[in-house]
Structure 1
Amino acid sequence: MAGKFEVYQDSAGKFRFRLKAGNGEVVATGQAYASLAGAKEGCAAVQRAADGASVVEASND
């Protein structure tokens, strides 16, 4: 089963998203957005950024 984005309204009335893996585990969460449309655009931005993204090790400088 493929992962999915879930968009929801938090207790403060803001909209957020979480990315769930196929097994239901939350693997990423988004910031708070004022609108549902903003949260959906946040999902789209993550999808665009992840397409072809490389994995690099960060240094501990």
Structure 2
Amino acid sequence: MGATFELYEDREGKYRWRLVHDNGNIIADSGEGYATRQKARQGIESVRANAPDAPLESLED
């Protein structure tokens, strides 16, 4: 099993990305629209580079 990044243009003409699991569930998304496709790709590359083995931090009281 794995996941795929999808890069798309939203209704407002902004570019967004989402990470979709093989089962169709959205695992993560850009949370914001980017002005250009290149900036959205840079967002994807940032996630790939900065969080490949990110630890889990519990924020419980």
TM norm structure 1: 0.87
Deviant stretches of 4+, over 6 Å? none
What is the one-letter code of the residue matched to 1:7? Answer: L
Gaps of 5+ in 1: none
Deviations 1:7-41 (A, max 9, x none): 00000000000110121111111021000000011
% of aligned pairs identical?
33
Q: Distance in 2 between matches of 1:26 and 1:58?
A: 22
RMSD: 1.2
| 3-state SS of paired residue (1:48) | helix
Aligned length: 60
The residue that corresponds to 2:40 in the other structure is: 39
What is the one-letter code of the residue matched to 2:45? Answer: A
